[in-house]
Structure 1
Amino acid sequence: MRRRALTATLAALAMLAAACGGSGGGRSTAEQTGDPAEISGDITVLTQRTDLKEDGTLAKYAAEFNKTYPNVQVKFEALTDYEGEVKIRMNTENYGDVLLIPAAVAKNDYPKFFASLGSAGELSKKYKFTSASEVNGQVYGVVSFAAANGFIYNKDVWTKAGVTGWPKTPAEFLADLQAVKSKTGATPLYTNYKDGWPLTAWTNVLGSATCDPQAKNALAKGDPWAAGKDLNVGDSLLFNAVKSKLTEADPTTTNWEESKGRFAKGDIATMWLGSWAIPQMRDAAAKAGVKPEAVGFMPFPAQVDGKFCAALAPDYRYAVNTHSEHKAAARAWVDWMVGKSGFAALNEGVSPVTGDPLPAALKPYQDAGVRLLDLDQAGVAQVNDIDRAAEIGLDAPDYRKNLVDVARGAAKGDLNALLADLSKKWDSGRKTVG
C-alpha cells in the first residue's frame, strides 16, 4: 500500500473545474465561537491516508479532538483513489465537510466549492503557505504540513563507498553515485519508475538549485529548461544518472513498497523524495533490524553563496465544503489538526503554524545552515494553465518516464533534444494562455 502523504498530481484530472458544478457560498466563512463546547455537529472528513484509518491513528486523533470539542462527532472516509473519487463527488454537494483540496481544482474556482477560512491578511499571521489558497484576498485552504525536499540516503552505504560529506554540485553527486556502485554493489539511485508518482517529486527541485523563492512564479515568464534553471539542472542530473547506469537495471520492475525494505538493507543507496518519507524509511529499517539512524537526508547538490537550499513542498490543504451544514465544527477540526494534533511532526514535515519548531529529521539541515525556501505560490494558477496548454504535466510522471526511457536507450533522442522539445512546448503553452 502506498502511504505517501501527498498523492501525485494527476494531469488527467485537470479539467475538474469544467466538469464540476458548484455554486456560490464560498464567501460564507467557517466561523467559530470562543467556547469549544458550543460547537456541535456530525462532520465527515475525507482523506487519502487509508493507512492511518486502518491502523487506528485517525480514530485516536478524533478521540483527542473530542477532549476539546465534545459535541462534534467525526467520521472518516479514506479513499484509495482520492483524486478520482473526489472529482466525481464534487459534481454534487456531497463531498464531505472537511476535505483535502484536489490538485485538479482550478485555484480561481475555490470559492465555488470551499468556504473562506478568513482574510489573507489575518490568516497569514497565523499560518504559513497561504498564498497558494488565496483568491481575491480570502484563503480557502490550510496546508497540513510542508515537506522539505532532498535525497533520502543510507548513511552506512555511502560511508562504505568512502563518501562522508554532502556533494555540492551535480558532477560531485554523480561521482559519489559511481563510488557507491563500484564499492558497495548497491543501486546508487532508485527512480521508482514503475509506480510513477515518485518521479513527480523531481519537479520539487524548483528553487533548490537556484535558491530562488520565486522559482515557481518564474515558470510563467521564461523557459524552465534554459541552462542553469532549476528544471534543467534537476532533469539533467536524473538523465545523466540513468545514462551512466547509476540507477536500477530495469526501471519497469521497480516497486515502491519493496524499495523501502531494500533501502533499509542497503540494496538501494539513494532516492529523491520529501522529508515525509523519512519516518517510513526508519520504520523499514527497524523491521529489517537496521538502526534507524542509518537513514540520512541530504539537500540537492547545488549551492548559492556557499549555502545549500531546499524548497518546501506544501502537502495537501485542508478545506471546508461550502455546502457543509456544520462549518464551525469542520473549521474546528481543521485548526485542531494543523495546530494541535502533531500530524506535521508525525510526517517529519514543517508545520504551517508560524513559530513552530522544525521537525527532528531536519536538524541536520538546520545544523548545516541549509536555507529552507517557502516558494511564493501567487502565480501557480497561471503556471498550471500554461502546463495544461503545453501538455507537459509538470506534476505527472509521463514526461520524466520519457526522460528515463531516452536516457536508458528505450526511446529515441538525447538530453539536448529532449530539453529543447520541453522548452518549445512550454513556449507554445505560454502563448496559448497569453
Structure 2
Amino acid sequence: MKKRLFRMSVVASALALILSACGKEEANTDGDKSGKETITFINHKTDWTGNGKWDEYIEEFNKKHPDIKVKVETITDYAGQMQIRMNSEDYGDVFMLPDTVQPQDFANFVEPIGKQDELEEKYMGIANKSFEGTTYGLPIAINTSGLLVNMKVFKDAGIEEFPKTPDEFIEALTKIKDNNADIIPLYTNYAAGWTMANWDFVRIGASGDPDYTNKMTLDKAPFEDGKVMNTIYKVLYDSVKKGLTEADPSTTDWEQSKQDMADGKIAVMPLGSWAIEQVQALAENPDDIQFVAFPMTAEDGKQYMSIGPDYNIAINVHSKHKKAAREFLDWFINESKYAEETGAISSVKGRDYPKALQAMKDAGVQFIEAKQATEGKESLFSDINNASEIGVDTTDATKQRIVDAAKGNTKESFADIMKDLNKKWGNAVKEVTE
C-alpha cells in the first residue's frame, strides 16, 4: 500500500508558515522569568476558554506540579487548522491528535506513549491511535455514538418510548411535526459540517457487530440496499425528503442548536454522548435531555451502542519539553475530572458511567467497542476511505450530498448516490488491497 501523507495547497503551505512564525513570536516555550518550564497545550474546547474552566484545570495541575507552566490554546476549527499547523513543527507540546494523521505516520508527528498491550490493561479505546504495538495517544474520554433527544418533545406528541426501527423513527418525527409545526423534529447541523460525521459513527452500534468497520475493508459494495450504511443514510435522506428537518440546512447554527434543543425547539440531533452535558446545562429541566441508541435493532433482537475514544491527547514529537508534557498528559487522563464533567466515560478502566449512559445500560442497551484491525492492517480502513474520497468518519461531503439530493437541490436520487458510493468504495478496495 502506498504511504499517504498530508496533502496541502500552496495557500495552505503559506498559511502554515505564517502560523509557525506567529507561534514563535508569541510564545517562548523554554520557560518564564520565574524559572518555570513552559509547555503549550492545544485543544478544541473553546467553550472552556470562555467559561474559565481551563484556568481551573491548570490551577489544579499546578498544585501537584508547580514548576510547570501550561499555556492553553484553543482552536474552533480544530481538525482543519491542526492539519495545516502539523506541516510545521509548531503544534504545541501537548495536543489532541487529529484523525487526519494516518496510523503509519504517527511516529512522524507524535511521541510514543508506551506499549499497546501494557497500556490496554489500564485504558480503553487506545487501538485507533496505536500502530504495530505502540500507542501514541490516550483518549481524553470515551464517548458513545447515538442520538441526543429532548424526550419531553416526544412525550408531548404522544410518544412515550423512543423508536427502535427506522420506520418507527420517521413515524415519530412526523407525529412531532404534526403536533407542533414550530418544532424541528431532526436537526442536521448541515452548515457546521463536522457534526454530520455522527451519521457514520453510529454504524458499529446499528450493526451490533464490533468488527463491522474491519469487514467494510473486504466489502466492495457496503452501501447496497439492506446493508447498515445504506439504512443509516436512508434515515437521513427520508427525514429531509419528508420535511422533518430545518427548512434551510445551509443556515444551521451549531451553537444555537444546543440552546434550541434545551428549549424544546429541536427534538433530535445525531451526536456523541459528549454533547449531553452541554445541552443539559442549558435546559430548565436537564432530565428532558436524554441520549438514545440509533433506531436500529441488531439481528439478535438487541440494541447496541458503540463506545469509542474522543480525541486522544498526545505529545508533539518535536517538543523540547517531553518530560513536562508527559506529566501533564498523565495528570489529565488519570487525575482530572474531564470525562466526568463532559458527561463521558473515563478511558481509565473501572470508573463509573455517567448518569445518562448508565440509564441506557439499565434499559438493556449493550455497549460495544469497535474491534481493532489485525496487525499490519491498522491503516487499511483509512487507506480505502481516503482512496475512495467518500470521507466516512472524516468529512461532511457525502452526508451533505444526501441532504442536497433530498432537498431537491440536485437531480440525484438516493439510489444514484448509493450506486456511486459503492463504485468508489469498490474501486478503492481494489486499489489498496490488490
Q: TM-score range by the shorter chain?
A: 0.7 to 0.9
- What is aligned with 2:358? 363
Q: CA deviation at 1:166?
A: 2.0
**C-alpha contact 2:91 2:316 (8 A) present in aligned 1:** yes
Is residue 204–residue 313 contact of structure 1 (8 Å, CA) maintained in 2?
Answer: no
* Alpha-carbon spacing, 1:152–1:362, altered in 2? closer, same or farther (3 Å): same
Q: Secondary structure in 2 aligned to 1:322?
A: coil
Please tell me whether the aligned partners of residues 207 and 230 of structure 1 are also in contact (alpha carbons under 8 angstroms). Answer: no
Q: How many Å separate the matches in 2 of 1:90 and 1:189?
A: 36
For 1:36, the equivalent position in structure 2 comes to: none
Helix, strand or coil at the partner of 2:144: strand
* Cα distance, 1:380–1:193 mapped onto 2, change above 3 Å: farther
Q: Which residue pairs with 2:198 in the alignment?
A: 201
2:103 is the counterpart of 1:111: no
What is the CA–CA distance in structure 2 between the aligned matches of 1:318 and 1:253, rounded to whole Å?
A: 32
CA–CA separation in structure 2 for the residues paired with 1:362 and 1:192: 23
Equivalent residue, structure 1, for 2:33: none
Give the counterpart letter for 2:194 in structure 1.
W
Alignment of 1:74-113 (within 5 A): 74-113=70-109
Structure 1 residue 139: deviation in Å? 0.6
Contact 1:46 1:96 in 2 (8 A): yes
2:29 — aligned with what? none
The answer (yes or no) to whether the contact 1:45–1:96 under 8 Å persists in 2 is yes
1:274 aligned residue (272, 275, 280): 272
Matched to 1:366, the amino acid is K
Q: Deviations over 1:51-103 (max 9, x none)?
A: 21232211211111122222222111222333343334333333211111122
Higher mean Cα deviation, 82-91 or 128-137? 82-91
Q: Do the aligned partners of residues 244 and 80 (structure 1) sit closer, same or farther apart at CA in structure 2, a change above 3 Å counting?
A: closer
SS state of the match for residue 207, structure 1? helix
Please list the CA deviations of residues 384-434 of structure 1 after superposition, one character each: whole Å capped at 9, or x if unmatched: 111121111112111111101111211112222211111111111111212
Instruction: Note the 1:127-276 alignment, pairs <5 A.
Output: 127-185=123-181, 186-222=183-219, 223-276=221-274
**Cα 1:267/1:85, change in 2 over 3 Å:** closer
The answer to whether the 8 A contact 1:208-1:310 is kept is yes
Q: Note if contact 2:184-2:266 (Cα within 8 Å) is conserved in structure 1.
A: yes
TM-score by length of 1: 0.87
Instruction: Return 5+ residue gaps in structure 1 as ranges.
Output: 1-12, 22-39
2:304–2:366 contact (8 Å) kept in structure 1:
yes
8 Å CA contact 1:151–1:272 kept in 2: the answer is: yes
- How many angstroms apart in 1 are the aligned matches of 2:214 and 2:153? 38
User: Aligned partner of 1:96: which letter?
Assistant: G
2:61 is paired with a residue whose SS is helix
Find the counterpart in structure 1 of residue 427 from structure 2: 428
Aligned partner of 2:345 among 345, 350, 371: 350
Unpaired runs of at least 5, structure 2: 17-35
- Identity among equivalent positions (%) equals 38
Q: 87-96 vs 99-108, which deviates more?
A: 87-96
1:187 Cα deviation (Å)?
1.6
State the one-letter code of the partner of 1:389: A
* Change beyond 3 A, Cα 1:251–1:380: farther
Asked if structure 2 preserves the Cα contact closer than 8 Å seen for 1:147 and 1:349, the reply is yes
Match of 2:292 among 269, 273, 298: 298
Match of 2:400? Answer: 401
1:192 partner letter: N
User: Which one of the candidate residues 7, 26, 33 is aligned to 1:15?
Assistant: 7
Output aligned runs, 1:15-54, within 5 Å. Answer: 15=7, 41-54=37-50
Q: Which amino acid aligns with 2:348?
A: V
> Residue type of the partner of 2:371?
D
Q: CA deviation at 1:346?
A: 1.5
Query: 1: distance between equivalents of 2:165 and 2:315?
Result: 43
**CA 313–15 in structure 1, closer or farther in 2 if over 3 Å, else same:** farther
Question: Is residue 43–residue 330 contact of structure 1 (8 Å, CA) maintained in 2?
Answer: yes
How many equivalent pairs are there? Answer: 398
Question: Is the CA contact 2:130–2:136 (under 8 Å) kept in the aligned structure 1?
Answer: yes
Once residues 81 and 295 of structure 2 are traced to their aligned partners in structure 1, the CA distance between those partners, rounded to angstroms, is 38
- Give CA-to-partner distance per residue, 1:203-241, whole Å, 9 cap, x none: 112112210101221221113213343211210111111
How far apart are 1:380 and its partner, in Å? 5.3
- Taking the aligned partners of 1:346 and 1:317, their CA distance within structure 2 comes to 17
C-alpha separation between the residues in 2 aligned to 1:400 and 1:132? Answer: 23
The superposition leaves residues 95-134 of structure 1 with CA deviations (integer Å, 9 ceiling, x where unpaired) of 2111111222121111122111111111111111111111
